[in-house]
Amino acid sequence: MKFIDEYRRSDLAQAVIRRIHQNSTKRARFMEFCGGHTVTIMKHGIRQLLPLTIEMLSGPGCPVCVTDNADLDKAIALAKVPGAILTTFGDMLKVPGSCSSLQEAKAEGADVRMVYSTMDALQIARENAARPVIFLGIGFETTAPTIAASVLQAKQEGIGNYYVLSLHKLCPPVIRALLHSGEVKLHGLICPGHVSAIIGSRPWEFIARDYRIPCVVSGFEPLDVLQSIDMLVSQVETDDSRVEIAYRRGVRAEGNQRALELMYQVFEPCPARWRGMGAVPDSGLKLRREFEHFDAELAFDFDPGPTLEPKGCICGDLLRGIKTPRDCQLFAKVCTPASPVGPCMVSSEGSCAAYYHYGDGTSSEQGEQ
């Protein structure tokens, strides 16, 4: 496919890898914030191709993984509201909450439907006017404008049975919280490409300015990620810290103003809980007062029950970048994609799932290959 295949050319990748090896002299730890980048890095064996000077660390950029159990329990409880249809992106179905998952709720009779788009959820609402249709609003700035668009559409059409449970999260505030904690020392950040397609590159500038950490906004093909690592290396070697865009075909410095307008017309920032990090100020999105009647949390009487955390699961530590899946005693033994304990094994972009499917080059089997 155009704009994908060209960025997977191995001859060009070899040239970029060669350049990275030639230029990198200082030890540097880079974090890829986004789960999509983690998948690219693991799938294409990029870690193993890098010089020993460079360490790659996965960050908290997977909306499924960072949704905490208390919020998951709300979604599961809402699915059980009599007569309700809960619509969700497929990623969320298998994620275990405290005692159940949406998939289990569905097996027990709840009407949980997987949709590809909020447009599909709206269509279900139109076709089931007598039943409440709740959309599980998960996702970062990339996705939140599409949920905002659906709320505006519902308002315009007078669709009165469409509701949203807004668990959206904003990325820059959580990176600030992560860096502020001082738990993890970084020398470079690969910023999320499709979040940046919406918010632009400017919201990352505080990282370069306040924390002196180089930032590069990256695309998702292997050449994109290698180019971003190369650009980070150049900044590290020259003691520079700036925000650069490698993903220039998809991201402008100012972002997508139209999408931001729609998002902030419908939502306003609020505190949000992140798995492993707790409450982070202004890192969530709630419906504005004008759109409160679309808010599933206010519209229904439901009991999510007490919040329980799975024993032994270290997803929270992984998301803060202080541990890797190899440090988890449950990894690939008790916790597998078929029977996941924590969300990082469920989501296709979770670091545990990526380690499980592609390996990280440290296991004995891979060493023998």
Interface positions with another protein (CB under 8 A): 1-4, 6-7, 9, 11-12, 14-16, 18-19, 34-36, 61-64, 89, 91, 116-120, 138-140, 142-143, 145-146, 149, 192-195, 197-198, 220, 223, 227, 246, 248-252, 256, 258-259, 262, 347, 349
HEC assignment per residue over 57-78: EEEEECHHHHECHHHHHHHHHH
Least Cβ distance, residue 56 to another protein (angstroms): 19
Q: Which is nearer to another protein, 9 or 27 (CB)?
A: 9
The dihedral over CA atoms of 277, 281, 283, 289, expressed in degrees to the nearest 10, equals: 140
> What whole-number distance in Å separates Cα of residue 58 and Cα of residue 323?
9
Q: Which is nearer to another protein, 283 or 299 (CB)?
A: 283
Least Cβ distance, residue 70 to another protein (angstroms): 20
Q: Which is nearer to another protein, 63 or 188 (CB)?
A: 63
Least Cβ distance, residue 130 to another protein (angstroms): 25
Q: Which is nearer to another protein, 135 or 163 (CB)?
A: 135
Least Cβ distance, residue 261 to another protein (angstroms): 10
Least Cβ distance, residue 332 to another protein (angstroms): 23
Q: Which is nearer to another protein, 35 or 81 (CB)?
A: 35
Q: Which is nearer to another protein, 116 or 369 (CB)?
A: 116
Q: Which is nearer to another protein, 24 or 118 (CB)?
A: 118
Least Cβ distance, residue 183 to another protein (angstroms): 24
Q: Which is nearer to another protein, 242 or 248 (CB)?
A: 248
Least Cβ distance, residue 33 to another protein (angstroms): 10
Least Cβ distance, residue 91 to another protein (angstroms): 6
